[in-house]
Amino acid sequence: MNNLEHLKTNPSLIKALKSSASKSLTSKEIKEQRVSYIVGMKGSNSITRSQVQQVLAHQEGRSGHK
Residue 5, pLDDT > 90, answer: no
**Which run of H or E residues covers position 43?**
none
**How do residues 6-60 score in pLDDT, each as one tens digit?**
888 899 999 999 999 999 999 999 999 999 999 999 987 889 999 999 999 999 8
Query: DSSP alpha helices (H): ranges in 1-66?
Result: 11-21, 27-42, 49-59
> Which pLDDT score is estimated for 66?
47
Between CA 4 and CA 36 the distance in angstroms is: 32
